[in-house]
């Protein structure tokens, strides 16, 4: 079973997210037909060029041979074709060679790329992050020489943050940047886990590196951002000799085998400062918002692909007597439990997609809206949704991939069906780009307490008002959504009143609750938008009802879990006691 990009579902989610209003607001040259044509072309590229390489990438991991990183068969050609077809430049500024499309469209395309081949999709994803960092904070020269090459995909980018002692806590970074007396810097140190830190699919690789200059203040206030490329840049922008940025080994991983995860050594590597000294982490945080949405989309993409495989298997495989078929043996799909699992997975994938693309449209609106108040409101809601989009969607990627293995039965545990690969691949997304625990802390701290609950309060009010208006076949959805909004309000009040150990231990449950409620709201909106013109459209209402019964029904209990964190027991129980 390979992959088919869910273009119609994605289009519905973009419409629900408000793409049409956005086009009228800030993308005057763009129309509906063009968006559909872009999605269809991207879907066709993903289905035909990227998806067929997915299994080969798993079986033939990236390798380090004589100091060079060798990608799996077909990856180099596919990455180059991807760039040549213009897929790396969708939302970049036309001033830097981009197509100036909304970020939300770029995100929608990213889902298809990750669904088709997550290990390959990481390369353009990292380049986007590097391009964003330079677009926001680069010098004129970096913007005119380096940025257009990243946008065109001729060069790729890598984000070099993590060190052995500095993972979630980037304050612990020790890589040194010494001024070279000529306006540049020399980097010394080691980074680990650097995705696509080296390969031969591009002419050059631009590393965005976090490091410390001599005398920098300790902690996060003393971290600066540097650009160090694989080949040094001559003053005229052409490529010079090899820089001292060396991949010394590749990690052996649970999944995404096709993606090279590099240990990088800098031995006096030539580098340029990006922006000002000691402001590196602030620059990275702006860029990370976009990257976190991209990783959320990875969760959606991998879940969609796992679901497609499981559905195809459930229709094909026959076993036993089933309640919903007279056939013997019946299709797995006709067993109520199997169908519940598939349909609930699909509903959750659609909810996650809706949350991510809504945050995407809000990102565009935060820049494009003419009215300042509208820009500010969009930015506040986007910032609130981003940790939810990242964590809820990537946890879901693992959940749906696991359900996919289960539906395959024993064959799910056997590698040749591919279900196991999706499960292994999905597992990284809750870890990188800020672990999901870190996302939940960001939500309860910076995002909810940071504005006294204002942005979350506005979401809850809107969802509750929307729920009140649901009637007819969606009346039950309305009732459950009202309860969900009430539960989220109570949990938010508790989080606001219990900042500190309380909110820290309840953060993960709170993020899940927020995702569950907002997801249910999105599904009901999409059901109304889809109407009842055909089976596809009617399935949207069916999924909203199933989700309301199976997920929204549990939200009052989840709010109770948030408010009962057993702090004293947690605090007083020693690691020795747990070890037994
Ligand atoms: C395949 C892969 C690709 C990667 N790609 C890149 C890349 O391209 N560039 C790059 O710079 N890095 C990359 N990383 C690194 C990745 O971002 C880190 O692994 C991640 O940030 C977590 O850091 P850590 O592994 O040191 O875990 P730790 O920080 O040691 O965390 C371990 C556990 O403790 C929890 N924890 C830690 N601190 C807290 C806290 N304050 N509150 C609550 N819980 C906490 C975490 O949630 C986690 O569950 C990659 C990693 C992998 C495995």
The model's pLDDT over 107-132, given as tens digits with 9 standing for 90+, comes to 999 999 999 999 999 999 999 999 99
Which residues form ligand 1's pocket by a CB distance below 6 Å? 159-162, 167-168, 193-195, 253, 261, 428, 431-432, 435, 437-438, 441
Mutate to test the pocket of ligand 1, among 432, 433, 443, 445 (most ligand atoms within 8 A of CB): 432
Please give the backbone phi and psi of residue 70, each rounded to the nearest 5 degrees, phi first.
-105, 120
> Average pLDDT over the chain, rounded to whole?
97
Q: What are the residues whose beta carbons fall under 8 Å from the beta carbon of 134, sequence distance 6 or more? A: 142, 143, 146, 147, 150, 208, 227, 274
Closest protein CA for atom 51 of ligand 1: 193
pLDDT for residue 287: 80
pLDDT digits (tens, 9 = 90+) for 300-356: 999 999 999 999 999 999 999 999 999 999 999 999 999 999 999 999 999 999 999
Rounded to the nearest angstrom, the distance between the alpha carbon of 243 and the centre of ligand 1 is 27
Please give the backbone phi and psi of residue 4, each rounded to the nearest 5 degrees, phi first.
-130, 115
pLDDT of 55 strictly over 90: yes
Rounded to the nearest angstrom, the distance between the alpha carbon of 484 and the centre of ligand 1 is 32
pLDDT digits (tens, 9 = 90+) for 461-512: 999 999 999 999 999 999 999 999 999 999 999 999 999 999 999 999 999 9
* pTM above threshold 0.85: yes
Are 128 and 119 a contacting pair, CB within 8 Å? no
Is 106 part of the annotated catalytic residue set?
A: no
CA distance linking residue 251 with residue 265, whole number of Å? 14
- Which pair of structure tokens corresponds to residue 441? 């802390």
Mutate to test the pocket of ligand 1, among 121, 193, 263 (most ligand atoms within 8 A of CB): 193
pLDDT digits (tens, 9 = 90+) for 545-567: 999 999 999 999 999 999 999 99
Which atom of ligand 1 has the smallest separation from the CA of 159? 9
Q: H/E element holding 70?
A: strand 68-70
Residue of 305, 300, 294 lying closest to 4 (CA atoms): 305
pLDDT digits (tens, 9 = 90+) for 91-104: 999 999 999 999 99
Query: How many other CB atoms sit within 10 Å of the CB of residue 241?
Result: 8
CA distance linking residue 449 with residue 469, whole number of Å? 30
Residue of 446, 431, 467 lying closest to 384 (CA atoms): 446
Rounded to the nearest angstrom, the distance between the alpha carbon of 391 and the centre of ligand 1 is 14
Q: What is the CA radius of gyration of the chain?
A: 24
Among 281-285, 317-321, 386-390, the range scoring the smallest mean pLDDT is 281-285
- Please report how many Cα atoms fall inside a 13 Å half-sphere around the Cα of residue 504, on the Cβ side: 5
User: What are the residue ranges of helices labelled H in 369-435?
Assistant: 372-407, 410-413, 419-426
Residue of 549, 554, 111, 116 lying closest to 344 (CA atoms): 549
- Please report how many Cα atoms fall inside a 13 Å half-sphere around the Cα of residue 429, on the Cβ side: 37
Rounded to the nearest angstrom, the distance between the alpha carbon of 440 and the centre of ligand 1 is 14
Are 449 and 517 a contacting pair, CB within 8 Å? no
pLDDT of 17 strictly over 90: yes
Kindly give the pairing relationship between strand 204-211 and strand 185-195.
unpaired
DSSP code of residue 469: T
Are 469 and 481 a contacting pair, CB within 8 Å? no
Are 300 and 395 a contacting pair, CB within 8 Å? no
Closest protein CA for atom 25 of ligand 1: 167
pLDDT of 1 strictly over 70: no
Q: Which of 433, 461, 462, 576 is catalytic?
A: 433
pLDDT digits (tens, 9 = 90+) for 240-268: 999 999 999 999 999 999 999 999 999 99
Closest protein CA for atom 14 of ligand 1: 193
């Amino acid at each position: 079973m390979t992959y088919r990009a869910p273009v119609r579902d994605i289009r519905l989610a973009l419409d629900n997210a408000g793409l049409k209003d956005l086009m009228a607001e800030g993308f005057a040259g763009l129309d509906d037909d063009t968006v559909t044509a872009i999605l269809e072309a991207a879907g066709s590229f993903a289905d035909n060029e990227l998806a067929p390489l997915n299994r080969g990438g798993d079986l033939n991991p990236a390798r380090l041979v004589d100091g060079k990183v060798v990608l799996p068969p077909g990856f180099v050609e596919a990455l180059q074709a991807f760039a040549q077809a213009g897929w790396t430049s969708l939302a970049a500024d036309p001033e830097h060679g981009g197509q100036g499309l909304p970020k939300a469209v770029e995100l929608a395309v990213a889902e298809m790329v990750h669904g088709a081949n997550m290990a390959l999709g990481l390369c353009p994803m990292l380049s986007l992050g590097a391009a964003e960092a330079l677009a926001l904070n680069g010098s004129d020269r970096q913007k005119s020489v380096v940025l257009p090459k990243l946008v065109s995909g001729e060069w790729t980018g890598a984000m070099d943050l993590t060190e052995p002692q500095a993972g979630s806590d980037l304050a612990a970074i020790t890589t040194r940047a010494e001024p070279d007396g000529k306006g540049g810097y020399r980097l010394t140190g080691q980074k680990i886990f650097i995705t696509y830190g080296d390969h031969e699919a591009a002419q050059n690789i631009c590393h965005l590196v976090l490091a410390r200059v001599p005398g920098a203040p300790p902690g996060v206030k003393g971290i600066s951002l540097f650009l160090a490329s694989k080949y040094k840049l001559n003053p005229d922008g052409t490529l010079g000799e090899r820089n001292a940025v060396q991949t010394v080994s590749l990690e052996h991983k649970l999944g995404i085998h096709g993606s090279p995860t590099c240990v990088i050594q800098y031995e006096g590597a030539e580098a340029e400062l990006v922006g000002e000294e000691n402001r590196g982490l602030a620059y990275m945080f702006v860029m990370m918002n976009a990257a976190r949405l991209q990783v959320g989309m990875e969760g959606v993409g991998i879940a969609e692909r796992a679901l497609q495989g499981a559905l195809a298997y459930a229709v094909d495989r026959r076993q036993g007597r089933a309640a919903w078929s007279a056939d013997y043996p019946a299709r797995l799909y006709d067993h109520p439990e199997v169908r519940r699992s598939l349909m609930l997975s699909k509903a959750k994938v659609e909810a996650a997609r809706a949350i991510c693309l809504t945050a995407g449209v809000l990102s565009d609106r935060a820049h494009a809206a003419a009215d300042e108040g509208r820009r500010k409101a969009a930015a506040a809601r986007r910032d609130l949704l981003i940790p939810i989009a990242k964590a809820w969607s990537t946890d879901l990627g693992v959940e749906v991939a696991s359900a996919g293995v289960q539906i395959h039965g024993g064959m799910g545990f056997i590698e040749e069906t591919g279900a196991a690969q999706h499960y292994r691949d999905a597992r990284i997304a809750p870890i990188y780009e800020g672990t999901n625990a870190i996302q939940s802390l960001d939500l309860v701290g910076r995002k909810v307490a940071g504005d006294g609950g204002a942005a979350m309060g506005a979401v809850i009010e809107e969802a509750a008002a929307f729920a009140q208006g649901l009637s007819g076949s969606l009346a039950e959805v309305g009732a459950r959504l009202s309860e969900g909004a009430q539960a989220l309000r109570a949990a938010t009040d508790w989080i606001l009143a219990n900042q500190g150990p309380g909110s820290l231990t309840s953060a993960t449950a709170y993020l899940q609750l927020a995702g569950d409620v907002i997801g249910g709201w999105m599904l009901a909106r999409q059901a109304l938008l889809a109407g009842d013109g055909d089976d596809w459209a009617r399935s949207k209402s069916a999924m909203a009802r199933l989700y309301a019964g199976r997920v929204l029904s549990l939200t009052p209990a989840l709010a109770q879990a948030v408010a009962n964190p057993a702090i004293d027991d947690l605090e007083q129980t020693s690691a020795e006691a747990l070890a037994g």
